[in-house]
Homo-oligomer: A and B are copies of this chain.
Amino acid sequence: MLQSIARHISLSPEEQQQFLAFTETKNYKAKTILLKAGEICTHSFFVTKGILRSYTLDENGVEHVMSFACPGWWIADMYSYLSQRPGHLYIEVNEDADVLLLSKENQERLYHDIIKTERFFRILVENSLVANQQRLMDNLSFTAEARYDKFSKKYPDLIHCLPQKQIASYIGVTPEFFSKMKAKLLKK
């Protein structure tokens, strides 16, 4: 995580230690659910090993993947985490994972104690926003086929370690349609 921080701000060794001291390390098995819809997201998660994902369940019980988190990525239900109100997202472990937990309280302490961290998290959120806006525009502008193409170019490695139905959900189609689409692409 310190590497990932160092890409945006520079912390002294003491500050680095303080940052880490505010986090908690945990290991989770695949399929563990770290957060459920209706709960308050008290921590944000930094993945050092494995894969997590966040998703909603709609009124018909269909899953819609919000995001995947690989090593080096943060994940949380931002709405719930920021407002400290019950959220709509589930966060689940896709593959056995090592995770750093940062509680909302410790995050606030960090902002207070090491003011530079505010910049760090601002930049993270800025990057998320840009990525999210891009994904939204892609969904409005492109067909499923083009979205899949973009996805596989953006995350070439992820494709091999995710179940198809989750990729289908991420790009916004049913697993059945995704399967047919893939078959059609292979013919070409």
Which residues of A come within 8 Å of B, CB atoms? 56, 58, 62, 64, 66, 78-79, 82-83, 88, 111, 115, 118-119, 121-122, 125-130, 132-137, 139-142, 169, 172
Contacts and interface: CB of A to CB of B under 8 A. Distances in A.
Contacts of A118: 118-119, 122
Copies in the assembly, this chain: 2
B137 A66 contact: yes
Contact of A134 (B79, B135, B169): B79
A144 to B, nearest CB: 12
A164 B5 CA distance: 45
Contact of A136 (B58, B127, B132): B132
A152 to B, nearest CB: 19
A176 B66 CA distance: 30
